[in-house]
Amino acid sequence: MRDEFDADITEAGDVGAAAPTWAVFGDLMSVMLGAFVLIMLGVIGVQIELSAKLEREVKERQVETQRRETLEKALAGPLAGGRVTLVNGRIGISGNVLFALNSDQLQPQGREVLRSLAAPLAAYLRASDEILMVSGFTDDQQVRETNRRFTDNWELSAQRALTVTRELIAAGVPPSSVFSAAFGAEQPVTSNADEAGRAKNRRVEIAPMPRSSAGNAGKPKA
């Protein structure tokens, strides 16, 4: 009888020892399952965020492409004349077309070019919530000592940008839709090592941009 009683106690002890083991295993599985679910949720969240970011970038590229195509169509006439360029949404006009060397006075052909741009630019601006930044640039040569009108290339580029801005306004571009910026010799598009390069760097650029960005307009990409 005592042997049977001892056997029963032993079996009960075995069951008691096994029960905590299964409980710990169950808890561990629950923790692992919870961690797996959290990881999966994190992965899904990242995928959703990446997908949304990609979709935004695609839409932004489509809008930018459409904007440039619209601008190109608006300026088809002036572009066909060959005296202006349109690169990455920026309208470029050679300084030699607009001004004599070290001058901010428009030449007749320069005034003609600007007046050909004014009407299509005004129409473009009416159809978009954008504003024009007119930027003046020079080569790296110092202003001649005999020319006392300008202290340096900063002042020369500023006055040229203002001259172009005023001419566009006089030709019909709304004053509230255009502003001027001066970059001096700091944004060359090519080397200033020879006259051909310096002539390319003496230029004025006209760039449409969102009104919301106009107040923080940074340096243009050359």
Q: pLDDT confidence of 182, banded at 50, 70, 90?
A: very high
For domain 65-214, which architecture applies?
2-Layer Sandwich (3.30)
For the chain, the average pLDDT equals: 82
pLDDT digits (tens, 9 = 90+) for 97-147: 999 988 999 999 999 999 999 999 999 998 888 999 999 999 999 887 666
In the chain, domain spans: 1-47, 65-214
Percent of the chain predicted with pLDDT > 90 = 44
Residue range 58-62: average pLDDT?
Answer: 66
What's the confidence (pLDDT) of residue 115? 94
- pLDDT tier, 50 (very low <50, low <70, confident <90, very high otherwise): confident
pLDDT of residue 211: 84
DSSP string spanning the chain? -HHHHHHHHHHHHHHHHHHHHHHHHHHHHHHHHHHHHHHHHHHHHHHHHHHHHHHHHHHHHHHHHHHHHHHHHHTHHHHHTTSEEEETTEEEEEHHHHB-TT--SBPHHHHHHHHHHHHHHHHHHHTSSEEEEEEEE--SSPPPTT-TT-SSHHHHHHHHHHHHHHHHHHTT--GGGEEEEE-TTSS-SS--SSHHHHHHHSEEEEEEEEHHHHTT--PPP-
